[in-house]
Chain A
Amino acid sequence: MKAIKNHTGLVYPLNRTNIDTDQIIPKQFLKRIERTGFGQFLFYHWRFDDEGNKRQDFSLNKERYQHASILVAGENFGCGSSREHAPWALLDYGFRVIIAPSFADIFYNNALKNGIILIKIEEEQVKQWLEEADIGNLSLSIDLEDQKIFEGNKEYHFQIPAYHKEKLLNGWDDIALTLLHEEKIEIYENSNN
């Protein structure tokens, strides 16, 4: 996974709660055996009609969000299925940061393993950004090291577990880290047989 230390980008506001992974990437696109190329299918049935034409009433299709890389959404983002195709699709589409009041547990882990910064912020603040990014262009800068979000001159602090931060900052491969403990795994196996 690619290391990520900070990120500045345009916000795309998706003012819905409980956005499930079936919406993020519908099942008909889970048949591929690669990790790549899922961005084109992101939010597929919200973005496209039955004939594959862009839906004009879905905001992500608006010209001004074409280069958005920060997704702001409502409570419980990523609930439902464990499909890692959801973060693969978000990342491949161009989102590097997701901000929401809460995330579903499995999605949270899956996204972190792919180098997406997930930021939990209280709902009031999220609502404000949803509104600002809806009315005009909103750009945010995220400094992961200092756990800060900058909006113009204003700055906001966010919480993230230290070990998650460390992994994102270094782009570490989890398996390689775990294999440093291989001896302990063997000891466990020998004593539990």
Chain B
Amino acid sequence: MMGRSKTIIEKIWEKHVVYQEQEKPDLLYIDLHLIHEVTSPQAFEGLRINKRKVRRPDLTFATMDHNVPTRNRDVIKDEISRKQMETLKENCQENNIPLADMFHPDQGIVHVIGPELGLTQPGKTIVCGDSHTSTHGAFGALAFGIGTSEVEHVLATQTIWQERPKTLNVHVEGDLGAGVTAKDLILAIIAKFGVRFGTGYVMEYTGEAIRNLSMEGRMTVCNMSIEAGARAGLISPDETTVEFLRGRVHVRKDEAFTTIAQDWLALATDDGAVYDKTVTIRGDEVEPQVTWGTNPGMCVPVSGTTPNLNDVEYKQDVERALHYMGLNENQPISSIHIDHVFIGSCTNSRLSDLRRAAEIVKGKHVHANVRAIVVPGSFSIKRQAEQEGLDKIFQDAGFEWREAGCSMCLAMNDDIVPPEGRCASTSNRNFEGRQGNGARTHLVSPEMAAAAAIEGHFVDVRNYAGVAL
């Protein structure tokens, strides 16, 4: 007899329980632990103090991304940044952990290179000391961000204590229109349901628009699950997933691949499986989005305006956000002029993102008031983009073309938006000071950022002259 219908979340969870006790969290096994320079040093220090070892260096993989300069890598001016990166190198050497350091051909943003190398696979439990670990959920993996104490715990035990999450189905009916991207979809979802509707849940994205997304688009969607409060968001694997992974470095080959691909497809949520909660949004009604405030839920379509203060719940917070952003209520989005553009981050720095942005800027020039940079998500993406001549298109249009890293998404290196500078950014957070103290961030898709770079203000890419979408 067939067992009851299950969601992919339940299937992965049950397969990874090492130990469970009534009314306590489950002890879950972790298949892949990704680490980077910022949230790991104190964890290794903790191991040393307690004379503990890394249990499974073979299931651990490290890179440098948050702090790395995106130009002149040989000279890191910031002593503390340099020390942090050297510490990671020493920790990896001491514990036999593979490391893609700043000069390694595989280096890149941790959530970009995991999938690129095929380390990320359906059905795996994946953790990293970074909240955007939810990105890997695009492959049907259960992937979530953890704190440094948990990093230490996973290094020492390869497990983590987790409360069984509630399940949330985010269902997208209908397909996205031309010129509307995965980024617009996830921003519209957060704008509609709020920045905490996912708290306590693992989300699964379902529906026609999701199935039609490329793996890059799915990563963009899952990446921002945390901005809706959900530690993890995932998508059931299908042929798109299998094809993306075929032939990747860490993926099995030939017959072994055929076998594992069948296992992956079997993970998909069963027909009739029940979620704790379901929300629905119409994909064909989503327009290109622009955030106007200081959290990703403060977001409207490009055709819209900033809110009217009489229409909002938490008026004081909205007032504060508008003040910080230097905007008025009821202000049309298209009237907002920008002076910085950042195309990059674990949300939107993949080859297809760069191709689409390049298509828009080709043969045009960045507005005189705008400084624009493109930061590929990994060395590998940078190499491929250069083979296709994208670097040339961007540079001819007046963009700076950089080395891979997190860069201006969080401005830990010297890629910083100055105080009161205004940035159209393809990243994931528009928090106060995120891109630099006093900096004002508007989250958008790569296409919208590219068009804003040319025009100097926000325009609807769907009506943007000369581009076939």
Query: Given known contacts A84-B39, A109-B147, is B419 in contact with A104 (CB within 8 Å)?
Result: no
Q: Give the number of A-B contacts (CB < 8 Å).
A: 164
**Contacting residues, chain A, for B316 (C-beta < 8 A):** 15-16
Contact, CB under 8 Å: B431 / A22: yes
- Whether a CB of chain A sits under 8 angstroms from the CB of B138 is no
Give bound CA distance, A87 to B78, whole Å: 25
Contact, CB under 8 Å: A84 / B45: no
**Contacting residues, chain B, for A15 (C-beta < 8 A):** 316
Contact, CB under 8 Å: B150 / A113: yes
Contact, CB under 8 Å: B147 / A18: no
**Contacting residues, chain B, for A32 (C-beta < 8 A):** 80
Q: Mark A103-139, 1 if CB is under 8 A from B, else 0.
A: 0111001100110000000000000000000000000
- Whether a CB of chain A sits under 8 angstroms from the CB of B236 is no
Contact, CB under 8 Å: A163 / B23: yes
| CB-contact partner of A50 in B52, B67, B437, under 8 A | B437
- Whether a CB of chain B sits under 8 angstroms from the CB of A154 is no
**Contacting residues, chain A, for B24 (C-beta < 8 A):** 163
| CB-contact partner of A188 in B18, B80, B150, B153, under 8 A | B18
Query: Given known contacts A104-B199, A113-B150, is B229 in contact with A76 (CB within 8 Å)?
Result: yes
Within 24-45 of A, Cβ neighbours of B (below 8 Å) are at: 26-28, 30-35, 45
**Contacting residues, chain B, for A16 (C-beta < 8 A):** 316-317, 320
Q: Mark B137-165, 1 if CB is under 8 A from A, else 0.
A: 00000001111111011001111010100
- By secondary structure, the A interface counts as loop
- Interface size, B (range): 35 or more
Give bound CA distance, A106 to B127, whole Å: 12
**Contacting residues, chain A, for B145 (C-beta < 8 A):** 82, 106
Of the listed stretches A3-11, A91-99, A141-149, A178-186, chain B binds A178-186
- Whether a CB of chain A sits under 8 angstroms from the CB of B411 is yes
- By secondary structure, the B interface counts as loop
- Whether a CB of chain A sits under 8 angstroms from the CB of B130 is yes
Contact, CB under 8 Å: B429 / A22: yes
**Contacting residues, chain B, for A31 (C-beta < 8 A):** 38, 67, 78, 80-81, 83-84, 412
Give bound CA distance, A30 to B25, whole Å: 30
**Contacting residues, chain A, for B131 (C-beta < 8 A):** 80-82, 106
The residue of chain B having its C-beta at the shortest distance from the C-beta of A18 within the complex is: B295
**Contacting residues, chain A, for B433 (C-beta < 8 A):** 22-23, 26, 45
- Whether a CB of chain B sits under 8 angstroms from the CB of A54 is no
- Whether a CB of chain B sits under 8 angstroms from the CB of A79 is yes
Chain A residues within 8 Å of B, Cβ to Cβ: 15-18, 20, 22-23, 26-28, 30-35, 45, 50, 74-76, 79-84, 87, 102, 104-106, 109-110, 113-114, 161-163, 174-175, 178-179, 181-182, 184-185, 188-189, 192
- Can you list 11 residue pairs at the A/B interface with Cβ under 8 Å? A16-B316, A18-B195, A22-B410, A23-B433, A32-B80, A35-B148, A83-B147, A102-B196, A104-B196, A163-B25, A184-B27
In the A-B complex, the 9 residue pairs with the closest CB atoms: A110-B147, A33-B41, A84-B147, A82-B145, A31-B80, A113-B149, A84-B148, A82-B131, A22-B431
